[in-house]
A and B are shown apart, each in its own frame.
Chain A
Amino acid sequence: MQALARKPTWFLRSAWPWRSLGYLVSGVLLGAVTGTAYLFLAIGGAALAIVLVGLLAFPAMVLLSMYVARFERWRLRLVDPDPAPDPHRPVPTGTWRERRQWIVARLREPVTWREFGYAMVSCLALWWVDLTIIGVALYMPGLLIGSSVVAAEEEPLLSVPLVVLGLVMLLIAAYPLTAWAGARAAMTRAILVPLDERLGEAVRSRARLVDAFEVERRRIERDLHDGAQQRLVALSLKLGLARLDLAPGSPAATQVAEAHELAKEALDELRELIRGVHPQVLTDRGLPAAVDDLAGRAPVPVHTDLVLPGRLPGPVELAAYFVVAEALTNVARHSGATRAAVRARMREARLVLEVSDDGRGGADPGAGSGLAGLADRVAAVDGALTLTSPAGGPTLIRAELPCG
């Protein structure tokens, strides 16, 4: 469609008029074939309905339209460069039993019925329009050029302007042809590649991504734990033993003592790093225990009050944990608070988590605090994060995370 707005010299030399023509011609062919097929199925189904077998023709019509729709989405690429993914949910079809379930699943999906509706409109009306547009676009120029051939025998002078006029009309015809092809493609996309299905896929793929990240973080944590941390402890042990053998105060003893201190500092840093990557106690004991430990590390007293029915889904626990961790870090860094509180309850399959403090307020999500990152983390599990922090305080961070 955008191609229409470009300069005529560019547009007419581009592939778009030809692509549009191809799109419409294939539309006519598809419409004619499916129209006939539907006609036979409908008539045959109605005729055989009396012996019940005929009734099968009607679900067959619906299922046939899925393949029509698949072909429509496929040929969309002729005029529409955006991808048109299959909106159907994947259902296995290995065994006969699974195939039966597949039919039931497909018949229950709203998108299947949208495709059926589209196929009906397409075979009853759209392909006629395609045919008409192609006809009008090609008939007049064809007539003019054709008559010029006839005219050439009788009035050779007349044939030249006829050919020129025919060619000009052919060029002009490229415009309505492309316009209709664009409109038809847009309509096809709107019906067969519905926006909400595409969003649904985006949400699912984001959830998969979050899961993949989580698996990866656990792997990293495990690798650090089994690898670097173990070696550092062993190194620190060896250095500790070496110090026993060295005369106190000797240059070697001083060097080894320094190396020993460095190894211990590295262990400290590594431990904090690993905790940031993936908190072990969260995996082992769940959110309340992990929040208690966070509260224990906070520099201000933190009152914890978490009432949960049991373990929550892993991604929710992790998101909630990082909300509390980041919120308590902000309390310590920016708020000037003397105390804080963490509260969590389940409300209709949603975890409602609140972190409050009595600090000076004025927390700004944009000011490089981790709050923006937290919002992303919460959004990744389909939750919502709200922040109330008037100047003068108090600050309340509230996260709602669906657990179902």
Chain B
Amino acid sequence: MRVVLAEDGVLLREGLVGLLQRFGHDVVAAVPDATGVAAAVDDTDPDVLITDVRLPPTFTDEGLRAAVALRARRPTLPILVLSQYVEQTYAAELLDSDAGAGAGVGYLLKDRIGDVEEFVAALERVAAGHTVVDPYVVRQLLGRRKDPLLRLTPREREVLGLMAEGRSNAAIARAMVITEAAVAKHISGLLIKLDLPPDADDHRRVRAVLAYLRGRS
């Protein structure tokens, strides 16, 4: 994969470049601020963009704004946004910026980088067009929904959380130490309870769930 990386911290930027290279990916451009992101993307036409939320020159949320602007201009570019904080506000803005082209999008805490294999797997899922949302954010979203989600069993809620992280049925089954058939049963059950028709496509299903959750916030 060809990756463009926007991160202002030198240590972290170098670390990420090393990490991605080790897993066989190629960082074609690494920029230290938000102003260079669009140009770097246009120049290199990467498979995925990784950007920090907070970048110079203002150190607020320039990375996120750049990502949202890029998604409007290049709807097919998968973007993974890294954040120092768990802010559902940012996650919602990023997910809402989806122009409908179905490009992958991710919002992860920077802490996840440390779990190198999982991080690279998440990046690959984003590049493949999936949605990946940090478990913390998912927990927040689930924690504050009341009405329809109260109808779910704890098991179903757990499955929904893992789904929202962009995991496949097999991965959910491994994580929960249950069979895949049981996962499928939970999923169809929770989709019915949430008034969402079952769907063969994992990724669209996740989006439907997330959109549903967002719409209720």
Known contacts being A226-B9, A230-B12, is A296 close to B114, with CB within 8 Å? no
Tell me which residues across on chain B come within 8 A of A260, comparing CB atoms: 114
CB within 8 A of A241: which of B22, B84, B110?
A: B22
Assess the A225–B116 pair: CB atoms within 8 A: no
CB within 8 A of B12: which of A234, A274, A289, A295?
A: A234
Q: How many angstroms between the C-alpha atoms of A236 and B22 in the bound complex?
A: 16
User: Is A264 interfacial (CB 8 A cutoff)?
Assistant: yes
Residues of A whose CB lies within 8 Å of any CB of B are 222, 225-226, 229-231, 233-234, 236-241, 243-244, 260, 263-264, 267-268, 271, 274-275, 280-281, 283-285, 289-290, 292-293, 295-299, 301-302
CB within 8 A of B114: which of A263, A283, A301?
A: A263
A-contact 0/1 string along B76-95, CB 8 Å cutoff: 00000000111111100000
Which of B13-21, B157-165, B176-184 is near enough to bind chain A?
A: B13-21
Known contacts being A283-B60, A296-B143, is A240 close to B115, with CB within 8 Å? yes
A-contact 0/1 string along B10-33, CB 8 Å cutoff: 011001101100100000000000
Tell me which residues across on chain B come within 8 A of A289, comparing CB atoms: 89
CB within 8 A of A237: which of B88, B114, B141, B143?
A: B114
Tell me which residues across on chain B come within 8 A of A297, comparing CB atoms: 140, 143
Q: How many angstroms between the C-alpha atoms of A51 and B88 in the bound complex?
A: 75
Q: How many angstroms between the C-alpha atoms of A240 and B112 in the bound complex?
A: 10
CB distance from B112 to the nearest CB of A (A): 9
Assess the B85–A231 pair: CB atoms within 8 A: no
CB within 8 A of B111: which of A225, A233, A295, A301?
A: A233
Assess the B84–A302 pair: CB atoms within 8 A: no
Q: How many angstroms between the C-alpha atoms of A238 and B12 in the bound complex?
A: 10
Q: How many angstroms between the C-alpha atoms of A233 and B114 in the bound complex?
A: 7
CB distance from A389 to the nearest CB of B (A): 24
User: Is B45 interfacial (CB 8 A cutoff)?
Assistant: no
Main secondary structure of the interface of B (DSSP, over half): helix
Q: How many angstroms between the C-alpha atoms of A274 and B86 in the bound complex?
A: 12
Tell me which residues across on chain B come within 8 A of A241, comparing CB atoms: 18-19, 22, 116
User: Is B117 interfacial (CB 8 A cutoff)?
Assistant: yes
CB within 8 A of A240: which of B60, B88, B114, B140?
A: B114
Residues of B whose CB lies within 8 Å of any CB of A are 8-9, 11-12, 15-16, 18-19, 22, 54, 59-61, 84-90, 109-111, 113-117, 119, 140-141, 143-144, 146, 217
Assess the B60–A225 pair: CB atoms within 8 A: no
Q: How many angstroms between the C-alpha atoms of A104 and B90 in the bound complex?
A: 51
Main secondary structure of the interface of A (DSSP, over half): helix
Name which residue of chain B comes closest to A218, CB basis.
Answer: B59
Central interface residue in A222, A244, A284, A290, by most chain B CB within 10 Å: A284
Q: How many angstroms between the C-alpha atoms of A117 and B150 in the bound complex?
A: 74
Assess the A292–B88 pair: CB atoms within 8 A: yes
CB distance from B215 to the nearest CB of A (A): 14
Assess the A275–B114 pair: CB atoms within 8 A: no
CB within 8 A of B113: which of A237, A280, A290, A296?
A: A237
Assess the A280–B54 pair: CB atoms within 8 A: yes
Known contacts being A241-B18, A244-B116, A293-B88, is A284 close to B61, with CB within 8 Å? yes
Tell me which residues across on chain A come within 8 A of B87, comparing CB atoms: 280-281, 293
Tell me which residues across on chain A come within 8 A of B12, comparing CB atoms: 230, 233-234, 237
Q: How many angstroms between the C-alpha atoms of A256 and B217 in the bound complex?
A: 41
Assess the A222–B144 pair: CB atoms within 8 A: no
Tell me which residues across on chain A come within 8 A of B54, comparing CB atoms: 225, 280
Name which residue of chain A comes closest to B116, CB basis.
Answer: A240
Extra contacts, 9 of them, besides A229-B110, A284-B60, A296-B144 (Cβ < 8 A), are A226-B9, A233-B15, A234-B11, A236-B113, A237-B16, A237-B113, A240-B116, A267-B114, A280-B61
Tell me which residues across on chain B come within 8 A of A267, comparing CB atoms: 110-111, 114
Assess the B111–A268 pair: CB atoms within 8 A: yes
Tell me which residues across on chain A come within 8 A of B8, comparing CB atoms: 226
Assess the A301–B146 pair: CB atoms within 8 A: yes
